[in-house]
Amino acid sequence: MVRQSDITRVELQSGNIQKIADFIAEETPLHLFVNNTFWATILCSPDNLKELAVGHLLSEGVLKSIEEIDEVELKENQENACYVKLKHGIKAEDRVKLSKLHSRVIPSACGSASPYQYTGVTPRVPLTLKVKAQVIFESVKQLNFKALGFRQTGGLHVAAIYRADGSLVALAEDVGRHNAVDKVIGMAALNNVRFDECFLASSGRLSGDMTFKAARVGIQVIASLAAALSSGIEAAEKTNVTLVGFVRGKRLNIYTVPQRVIF
Tell me what pLDDT residue 241 has: 98
> What does the alpha-carbon distance between residue 228 and residue 209 come to, in Å, rounded to a whole number?
12
Q: What value does the mean pLDDT take over residues 234-248?
A: 97
Q: Is the pLDDT of residue 201 over 70?
A: yes
Regarding pTM above 0.85, the answer is yes
Q: Decide which of 147 and 91 is more confident.
A: 147
Domain 131-262 has CATH 3.40.140.10: yes
**4, pLDDT greater than 60:** yes
Per-residue pLDDT at 115: 40
Q: Residue 110 catalytic?
A: yes
pLDDT digits (tens, 9 = 90+) for 91-146: 877 777 766 554 478 887 766 544 444 344 689 999 999 999 999 999 999 998 89
Mean pLDDT computed over 187-196? 97
pLDDT interval class at 207 (50, 70, 90): very high
* Angle ∠(177,178,182) on CA atoms, nearest 5: 120
> For the residues 81-99, what does the mean pLDDT come to?
84
Is 246:252 a contact under the CB 8 Å cutoff? yes
Q: Kindly list the distances between the CA atom of residue 156 and the CA atoms of 153, 213, 247, in Å, as whole numbers in the listed order.
A: 7, 19, 18
Bridge partners, 199 (sequence order) = 162
What is the number of H-type helices and E-type strands within the chain?
Answer: 7, 15
pLDDT of residue 150: 87
What pLDDT digit, counting tens, does each position of 17-54 carry? 999 999 999 999 999 999 988 899 999 999 999 999 99
Say whether pLDDT at 204 is over 60.
yes
The residue from 44, 82, 110, 198 that is catalytic is 110
- pLDDT for 114 equals 46
Asked if pLDDT for residue 194 goes beyond 60, the answer is yes
Q: Render pLDDT for 148-185 as a digit per residue (tens, 0 to 9).
A: 888 888 889 999 999 999 999 999 999 999 999 999 99
Strand partners, 159: 172, 202
In angstroms, the CA 158 to CA 144 distance is: 9
pLDDT at 152: 87
Q: Is the pLDDT of residue 242 over 80?
A: yes
Could you state, in order of their start, the residue ranges of all structural domains in the chain? 28-118, 131-262
What fold characterizes domain 28-118? Ubiquitin-like (UB roll) (3.10.20)
Q: Which amino acid does the sequence have at 25?
A: A
| pLDDT reported for residue 122 | 81
For range 1-19, the mean pLDDT: 91
Distance between CA atoms of residues 246 and 252, nearest Å: 5
